[in-house]
Amino acid sequence: MARIGPQEGPNGSRFSRLGTRHTPSRPLWICRVDAAPWPCAEARLWLTRTHRENPVALYVLLGAALAEAMTDLYRLDAYGAPEPRILFDRFLGWTPARRPT
């Protein structure tokens, strides 16, 4: 599986290749533009807009980002890192609800 990380692009994120400057700065997972916890409000808007036709891809992308953020943040500070539930809400809790098919 591809990693989301500094090794993947000149700006430190594969998100930088996709058309927004609001990309995560690792290992802190804060926005490179506004320093808000990533995905910031602008990143959420951009992600929603660009995945409107394929929300499953959005969930996969954010799920991978969540797993990597947990690894990074717990590696930085195992006792001070956000609880998994908080990170789940931050990365996936805001996404549009999936409609039953």
* Residue 22 sits in the site that holds Zn ion (CB under 5 A): yes
Length of the chain: 101
- Whichever of 53 and 69 has its CB closer to Zn ion, that residue is 69
Residues 6+ apart with CB under 8 A from 24: 4, 13, 15, 30, 31, 32, 38, 39, 65, 69
* Residue 42 sits in the site that holds Zn ion (CB under 5 A): yes
Smallest distance, Zn ion to C-beta of residue 40, A:
3
Which of 12, 28, 30, 33 is the binder for Zn ion (CB under 5 A)?
33
Smallest distance, Zn ion to C-beta of residue 2, A:
22
* Residue 11 phi, psi dihedral angles, 5° rounding: -100, 10
